[in-house]
Amino acid sequence: MRKIRYREALREAMSEEMRRDASVFLMGEEVAEYDGAYKVSQGMLAEFGEKRVIDTPISELGFAGIAVGAAMNGTKPIVEFMTWNFAILAFDQIINGAAKMLSMSAGQFGCPIVFRGPQGTAGQLGAQHSQMLTNMLASVPGLKVISPSNAYDAKGLLKSAIRDNDPVMFMESEVMYSDMGEVPIEEYLIEIGKCDVKREGKDVTIVSYNKMMKIALQAADELAKENISAEVIDLRTIRPLDIETILQSVKKTNRLVIVDESWPFTSVASEITFQVQRYAFDYLDAPIRRVCGADASMHYAPNLVEQYLPSVSKVVEVVKAVL
C-alpha cells in the first residue's frame, strides 16, 4: 500500500468528493491562491476554479455565516479555518446557526457542512493558539465532531463527513500534516461514530484521539517492555461517541486510562469516565484515571509547554498506578 502525508489524504478526500458532487466547494483564508496555509488545498484552485475554491477575507464569523446560508440552499460547503482557535469568532454561526437549523426549521432546512482545520498545541504558539476545543463543540446537540489521528482515518472520515447531511466539525492537528501513513488508492469510506482498536491488550485500556494517539501508542510500547499489555483505542469520532467499543474493552481489561489534550474540567475524558462508570462499574478493578492537558492556559516557554502536555512518562506512571 502506498504512503502519503496526512495533508495529502485530506486533499484527496476533498478533491474526490468535489469531482463526485458539483455542489461541494471549499472556502477559507488562503485556500486558493496560496494553496492553503498548510498546503492542504495545494493545486485545487487550478483544477476546480475560483468558484469552487474560494479565498475569503479574514472574517471567520462572516464566511462561516455565508457557508451556513449556502448549505441551507442546497450546496455542501467545506470551510477551512486556519486554526480552530480563530473559529471561536464563528461559534455564533456554528452553534446558533448550523447546529440548530434542522430543529428550528422543523426539518425544512438541513445544514450539510464541514468545518475543518487544526487545533491544539503545535509548539511554542502561546495561549491563544494552542487550545483544544473538541469538548466545547462536542457538547452541542446537532453537531458531529471528528478528530482523526492518521492519514488513513483522515481521508475516509472526511469523505464521509462531506457526504453527511449534518454539520460536522473536523478537527485536525497542525503537527500531523506531514505525517506519513498508508492510504489505499481505491476509494473507501469510514463510518462516522466508530472507534478503532489500534492495539489489542489484556491488562489495561488506553483511550485517546488526535495527536495524543502517538503518546498512547508509545506508552503502550514502553509498558510492553515490562510485560504490561495495553489495549489502545482511537476514538476517531468524539460525537457520536462509540461507547460500546470502549465498554467491551474495559470489560476485558478491567482498567481504563484516558489520554486527552483537553483541559481536564468538562473534558472528553470526563464524559467517557462518566459513561464507563455508569455502564461498566462492576467490571472496574481500579478507579478510572485520565492524563489531560494542564488546567491552565498554555505558556510560551518550552519547558512549560512540556509540563502542560500529556507525555509518555505521565501515561506510563498512571497506568502503573491503576495496576
231 part of the active site: no
End-to-end Cα separation, the chain, in angstroms: 38
pLDDT of residue 101: 95
pLDDT digits (tens, 9 = 90+) for 178-201: 999 999 999 999 999 999 999 999
Catalytic residue among 129, 172, 231, 271: 129
Task: Find the mean pLDDT for residues 146-160.
Answer: 98
Cα(47)–Cα(231) distance, rounded to whole angstroms? Answer: 43
pLDDT of residue 1: 83
Task: Domains for the chain: give ranges and CATH numbers.
Answer: 3-182 (3.40.50.970), 196-322 (3.40.50.920)
pLDDT at 45 over 90: yes
pLDDT digits (tens, 9 = 90+) for 252-311: 999 999 999 999 999 999 999 999 999 999 999 999 999 999 999 999 999 999 999 999
pTM: 0.96
Dihedral of the alpha carbons of 11, 15, 16, 19, in degrees to the nearest 10:
180
pLDDT of residue 272: 98
Catalytic residue among 60, 80, 174, 261: 60
pLDDT of residue 36: 96
Cβ atoms of 143 and 167 closer than 8 Å: yes
129 part of the active site: yes
Nine-digit cell at 53? 475554491
Q: Which of the residue ranges 209-213, 298-302, 311-315 would you say has the lowest mean pLDDT?
A: 298-302
Task: Find the mean pLDDT for residues 53-82.
Answer: 97
* % of residues, the chain, pLDDT over 90: 99
pLDDT at 249 over 90: yes
DSSP state letter for 140: S
pLDDT digits (tens, 9 = 90+) for 130-141: 999 999 999 999
pLDDT category of residue 123 using cuts at 50, 70 and 90: confident
